[in-house]
Chain A
Amino acid sequence: MKPSSRKTGRRAQKLLRAGAAVAAALAVAGAGAGQPTAAETQAEIERYRAMLAEDNPAELYAARGEELWNTPRGPKQAALAGCDLGLGPGVVAGAYAQTPRWFADAGRVMDIEARLAWCMETLQGFSAADIAARPFGSEDHKSDMEALVAYVVTASRGYPIAPSQKLPQERAAYALGKSLFALRAGPYDFSCQTCHSQDGKRIRLQELPNLTRREDVRRAYTGWPAYRVSQGEFRTMQWRINDCFRQQRFPQPKYLSETVNALITYLAVEATGATYNGPAMKR
Chain B
Amino acid sequence: MSIRISVAICALLLGLPCAPALADDAALRTALEAARRDFEARGPAGLDRLDLDAVQTVCNRWANNPPSELQSLLQAEQLAAVKYPEGGNYLGDWKKGEALAQSGRGLTWSDGAKVATGGNCYNCHELASTELAYGTLGPSLARYGQRRGRSPDLLRYTWAKIYNAKASSLCSNMPRFGHSGALGEAQIRHIMAYLFDPQSPVNR
Whether the pair B38, A259 counts as a contact (CB closer than 8 A) is: yes
Stretch at the interface among A57-65, A112-120, A139-147, A186-194: A186-194
Whether the pair B60, A246 counts as a contact (CB closer than 8 A) is: no
Contacts A176-B30, A187-B107, A202-B136; is A254 near B38 (CB within 8 Å)? yes
CB 8 Å contact bits of A243-255 with B (1 = contact, 0 = none): 0001101111110
Complex Cα distance, B50 from A259, in Å, reads 13
Tell which of B34, B40, B137 touches A195, judged by Cβ atoms closer than 8 Å.
B137
- Give the one of B46, B47, B99, B136 with max A CB within 10 A: B136
Tell which of A178, A189, A253 touches B175, judged by Cβ atoms closer than 8 Å.
A189
Contacts A203-B137, A259-B39; is A180 near B180 (CB within 8 Å)? no
Q: Is B42 close to A, CB under 8 A? A: yes
Q: Is A166 close to B, CB under 8 A? A: no
Complex Cα distance, B173 from A181, in Å, reads 15
Whether the pair B135, A189 counts as a contact (CB closer than 8 A) is: no
Q: Is A229 close to B, CB under 8 A? A: no
- Which residues of A lie under 8 Å from residue B60 when comparing CB positions? 182-184
Tell which of B32, B107, B182 touches A183, judged by Cβ atoms closer than 8 Å.
B32
Complex Cα distance, B60 from A182, in Å, reads 7
Number of A-B contacts (CB under 8 A): 131
Whether the pair B110, A246 counts as a contact (CB closer than 8 A) is: yes
Q: Is A44 close to B, CB under 8 A? A: no
Whether the pair A203, B34 counts as a contact (CB closer than 8 A) is: no
- Which residues of A lie under 8 Å from residue B113 when comparing CB positions? none
Within 8 A of A (CB), among B30-89: 30-32, 34-35, 37-42, 45-47, 49-52, 55-56, 59-60, 63-64
Main secondary structure of the interface of A (DSSP, over half): mixed
Within 8 A of B (CB), among A160-197: 175-176, 178-180, 182-190, 193-195
Complex Cα distance, B182 from A187, in Å, reads 7
Complex Cα distance, B175 from A198, in Å, reads 17
Whether the pair B49, A250 counts as a contact (CB closer than 8 A) is: yes
Whether the pair B28, A183 counts as a contact (CB closer than 8 A) is: yes
Whether the pair B131, A201 counts as a contact (CB closer than 8 A) is: no
Complex Cα distance, B58 from A3, in Å, reads 55
- Give the one of B41, B47, B102, B133 with max A CB within 10 A: B133
Whole-angstrom distance from the CB of B111 to the nearest CB of chain A? 9
- Which residues of B lie under 8 Å from residue A247 when comparing CB positions? 108
- Which residues of B lie under 8 Å from residue A260 when comparing CB positions? 38
Whether the pair A246, B134 counts as a contact (CB closer than 8 A) is: no
* A–B complex contacts, Cβ < 8 Å, 28 sampled: A35-B133, A36-B133, A37-B133, A179-B27, A182-B60, A185-B35, A185-B50, A185-B56, A186-B49, A187-B107, A187-B181, A189-B175, A200-B136, A201-B136, A202-B135, A203-B137, A204-B122, A246-B109, A249-B108, A250-B49, A250-B50, A251-B42, A251-B45, A251-B46, A252-B39, A253-B38, A258-B38, A259-B34
Which 4 interchain pairs have the tightest Cβ spacing?
A257-B38, A35-B133, A188-B175, A179-B31
